[in-house]
Structure 1
Amino acid sequence: MHTTTLETHGPVALVTGASSGLGRATATLLAARGYRVFGASRDPSRAAGAPFPLLPLDVREDASVAACVAEVLGAAGRIDALVNNAGYAFVGAVEETSLDEARGQMETNYFGALRMMRAVLPEMRRRKAGRIVNISSLAGVVPPPFLGAYAASKHALEAISESLAIEVRPRGIHVSLIELDGMRTGIPFAHPARPEPDHAAPRARMLGRLERMTRETGDDPSLLARCVLEALSSDAPRLRYVVGEHAAALIDARRRLSEAEYAREVVARLGLWDPPAAAAPGGAA
């Protein structure tokens, strides 16, 4: 653990998954706006030259989480804000997702965030102040095909965040979720160890869409960074923020349309399956 003189100026923020993508953009913006930022990553060497220190952290390990939080508290004396950003996406049909693969998805995206929240809450509760921002996803509200395990992890994060927000509000702590879509996140993708051939073609099309969106065509990560800053600095932060050009429209469609109408909309929009064969003479398929 580093031993440094405690600094009291500027709020202290801990951002997980800060070596690249959304986490790095968020940590960089917060540092520019006067926060004393500590980034965290499984591979701190990936963020050479960042305007903030990067600490080693594996959110899947209790000891790693405890050591990271202790190092920040030892250096800065407090943690005013936690941004839970670390995560990855498992891309596969539900049928071809093994229990171990589903557990791995939950271990990082859900239990990892829960470990971090449990680690920072005692000190925040003692001071009766703190902000927690959990990076969710449109998938946590509107689960798409071939992202079932990922959507389940974000559903779980949404649920526990909402419960926590009510529990800690009397203690001066605010919890926010950011539901994002269509950003150049650089998020890692995992794949089924035992793929099912019948799902291969639509899964590949879905993966292609995700890779193009998260690597090339998606919105700039600065949109997410600015939303995090708003949630951290607002006098009355909201529980949920929606970020992304099409996210709000799709959430509205999911709530407004019937199940059948929405399913048709998803199939048409994603284009994952070949169009149905033309009807034979006489109406036979």
Structure 2
Amino acid sequence: MPDWLPDFLNSNLLYGPFYQISSAIWNIVMTVCTGIMTTTPQGFSVDTWEYVQTELYPWALAIGVMSMDLFIMIGFFRAVGNFKENMTLELMIEVFIKIVILNVLMVSGLRIIKTLFKAASAMAGMAVMVEPPAFFTDDVDVGSVIFYWIFGFFYFIVAIVCAFLILLTLYGRYIKLYTLVVTFPLAMPTITGSRGVEGTAYAWVKSFLSNTFEIVIIALAMAITGRITAGVSVFVTDSGVLNMFDGFGQALNSTIYMILMAVSVKGAPTFLNKTFNL
């Protein structure tokens, strides 16, 4: 008989059929998520990154290089045709500075992007410091048994939905990052297109920073949410009779934990955008 089988059977007898399954799914998915958060797009999917780097990015870079002169001419003629502002030396210097910056970005853009990816992953690894959350049922009592037998199926649904919502949020981030890498050479040439046109390049930069560093906010949200919920002692009592039902409160606490973590992770990008005006 496997070593884990007695524990599994005992848990089913105490908590019903759903607790052990919910606990296993939640812990497995959370372990995967904590690993994903510290992985760069280069390491998340090597095949996808190779496809983006060797096929899609060179194609987009070729289009971007061909459009550089077009946007430079657009910026120049818009400046010359603006009779409200004279063509001054300061304006010419500004144009040349933008051209130099654009050339540096087009040559070293991918290297800069990969450096920022590594920085975001390292920051997330330092911020997360979270283990797969315990379900606060260390003490088996009447309350925990009642909760899992009555609300076990609801608990199972919450664990499944919240765990995979967090996982899909993290997976979706990488898809956006791969797409942003491809669109980088297409957006940057607009920086020389004078005021109005250059907003496209600035919008790309904001979107890139938001999607790259949102993983740090997600890691912080997961770590803080776990510690806040684990420290809640509303349901703990010194009464001898009520102490027998502490497990009910702990089980309810773990349900709140999963919901709060999923909501916090899902709302992390919005929080980042509003906080840093991205």
What interval of TM-score do these two structures reach, taking the shorter chain for normalisation?
A: under 0.3
- Which structure exhibits the higher relative contact order, with contacts defined as CA atoms closer than 8 Å and separated by 6 or more residues? 2
Q: TM-score, normalised by structure 1?
A: 0.22
Q: Tell me which protein shows more helix as a share of its residues.
A: 2
